[in-house]
Amino acid sequence: MAQLSDDCFAFGGGLTPLSEALETLLARAKCLVETESAPLDRAAGRILGADVTAAINVPAFDNAAVDGYAVRIADLKADEPTILPVVGRAPAGGGRPPALADGAAMRIFTGAPLPAGADTVMMQEDCDASPDGASVRIRSGIARGANARLAGEDVQAGATLLRAGRRLRIPDIGLLAGQGLTDIRCRAPLRCALFSTGDEVRDPGEPLADGQVYDANRHMLAAALMRMGLRVLDLGVIADRPDAVEQALRRSAAEADVILSSGGMSTGEEDHVRAVVEANGRLDFWRLSIKPGRPVGLGQVAFDGKRVTVIGLPGNPVAAFTTFALLAQPLFQKFGGETITPPRRFPATLGFAYRKKKGRREFVRVRLDGVDSTGRLILRKHGKSGAGILISLSGADGFAELSEEAESLESGSPASYLPFSELLP
């Protein structure tokens, strides 16, 4: 497994624009996992580990796209129907039929090879066969090559089908199966250790005492990681003690490729994650000019000669979700060997007035509310804006992304819509 330099996340300066932070991080990151063979029927969602080159043409031979009659266009009259004798029958899977004689038609079925000499297939709905099937009346007006699929028109042998780094989708599996492949070279899943800290944090299902809360962040992040195809080592909730945090980090370094946590990264007396990381490696804080989710910790710990990346997200759940989706997820994609495709933004119109601080990019939780007179999506602000208001995130469709230059926005102002469906694969 490749390792990153111990200062790969070092970064100076004040608030950093998200685009600059992401560009810098991805430029320094590299793939951390090797490739392995995956069965075709389990490869969907995996990251392709090597280019795939087509070994055969698809289709492998000229064939009929419909049930009908194979003909030679030169034998058909241009302005009136043509009656031709039917000289044979070509079923799919029946082997290559004999050549088509001049001035004749052949009954043919979908997927059957075209007989030599035939260049067109007339749909049976546009033909009138004689009662005994010995002849057929072909209507005029058909074009040469109609309803015929030529060898290699889908895929040509020698062409690059799929590039390494692609997350395989369902249609890709069909494309690979069409080449007769049974095993696909994929990247091994990135292994991510995940934990929360805090004596006040409890797992769902446990009783709550006064002053305690359920662990929302860890379960939300675990779901996101598993949806990405990562293997999650869930260490649960770690007690607020330096020795417990160090033990968790040591285990994580031994068993995982990366470590993800939320909270516990500030300088308070009970925030031990930051101190333990710094004592066993290095931690750099990236102060992003975004809201929610300004501080993100990035660094490495080293135990027994192995260095592992640590990413510390904010403790507030909306901030944790936002920074994970916008920053941690692309970084994990790069670590896992995936080619990064930026999420698509869509032009939209604000259905609410909003004031923000200049110089900061804000991600406002919104719901879709139809389209305006120009066809743009209308965005309605959803819920309260606090970074800890998780229900406002759960009920939203996505973010209204407001640029650093914006300050006072009126209802009807243009905006960029970033749907959640684009943020998480």
Report the CATH number at residue 204. 3.40.980.10
With respect to residue 359, please indicate whether it lies within any of the assigned structural domains: yes
Check pLDDT > 60 for residue 315. yes
pLDDT tens-digit profile of 74-128?
999 989 999 999 999 999 998 999 999 999 999 999 999 999 999 999 999 999 9
With respect to residue 1, please indicate whether it lies within any of the assigned structural domains: no
> CA dist 266 to 54, 269, 276, 285, Å?
53, 9, 12, 10
On average, the pLDDT of the chain sits at 93
pLDDT tens-digit profile of 185-201?
999 999 999 999 888 99
> CA dist 132 to 11, 15, 59, 103, 383, Å?
84, 84, 33, 19, 73
pLDDT tens-digit profile of 25-39?
899 899 999 999 999
Q: Which residue has the higher pLDDT, 10 or 61?
A: 61
Do 289 and 260 share a structural domain? Answer: yes
Check pLDDT > 90 for residue 269. no
pLDDT at 3: 67
Do 122 and 28 share a structural domain? Answer: no
Which pLDDT band, with edges at 50, 70 and 90, does 40 fall under?
very high
Domains identified in the chain, total number: 3
Do 140 and 224 share a structural domain? Answer: no
Residue 95: both structure tokens together: 């082997």
> CA dist 425 to 233, 336, 342, Å?
20, 14, 11
Question: In percent, how much of the chain has pLDDT > 70?
Answer: 96
Look up the domain containing 93 and give its range.
63-149
Beta-carbon contacts of residue 276 (< 8 Å; ≥ 6 apart)? 242, 245, 246, 249
Taking the C-alpha atoms of residue 164 and residue 180, their distance in angstroms, rounded to an integer, is 19
Residue 81: both structure tokens together: 């129907």
Check pLDDT > 60 for residue 267. no
pLDDT at 265: 64
With respect to residue 8, please indicate whether it lies within any of the assigned structural domains: no
Last residue in a domain, options 301, 335, 369: 335
Do 200 and 330 share a structural domain? Answer: yes
- Segment 319-330 mean pLDDT: 95
pLDDT at 2: 60
- Segment 225-240 mean pLDDT: 95
Report the CATH number at residue 121. 2.170.190.11
pLDDT at 240: 87
Check pLDDT > 90 for residue 71. yes
- Segment 47-59 mean pLDDT: 98
- Segment 9-15 mean pLDDT: 71
With respect to residue 43, please indicate whether it lies within any of the assigned structural domains: no
Do 323 and 392 share a structural domain? Answer: no
Cβ density class 121-148: b for 16+ within 10 Å, e for less: bbbbebbeeeeeeeebebeeebeeebbb
With respect to residue 42, please indicate whether it lies within any of the assigned structural domains: no
Last residue in a domain, options 335, 366, 381: 335
Check pLDDT > 60 for residue 286. yes
pLDDT tens-digit profile of 357-402?
999 999 999 999 999 999 999 999 999 988 889 999 999 999 999 9
Check pLDDT > 70 for residue 312. yes
Do 221 and 324 share a structural domain? Answer: yes
Which pLDDT band, with edges at 50, 70 and 90, does 12 fall under?
low
Which pLDDT band, with edges at 50, 70 and 90, does 181 fall under?
very high
pLDDT tens-digit profile of 339-359?
999 999 999 999 999 999 999
With respect to residue 300, please indicate whether it lies within any of the assigned structural domains: yes
Check pLDDT > 90 for residue 69. yes
Which pLDDT band, with edges at 50, 70 and 90, does 287 fall under?
confident
Beta-carbon contacts of residue 1 (< 8 Å; ≥ 6 apart)? 32, 33, 34, 257
- Segment 64-69 mean pLDDT: 97
Which pLDDT band, with edges at 50, 70 and 90, does 13 fall under?
low
Q: Which residue has the higher pLDDT, 6 or 331?
A: 331
pLDDT at 263: 75
Asked if 120 and 73 touch (Cβ cutoff 8 Å), the reply is yes
Query: Cα 123 vs. chain centroid, distance in angstroms?
Result: 40
Residue 311: both structure tokens together: 């990413």
pLDDT at 385: 87
Last residue in a domain, options 130, 149, 168: 149
pLDDT at 248: 95
Do 328 and 357 share a structural domain? Answer: no
pLDDT at 133: 93
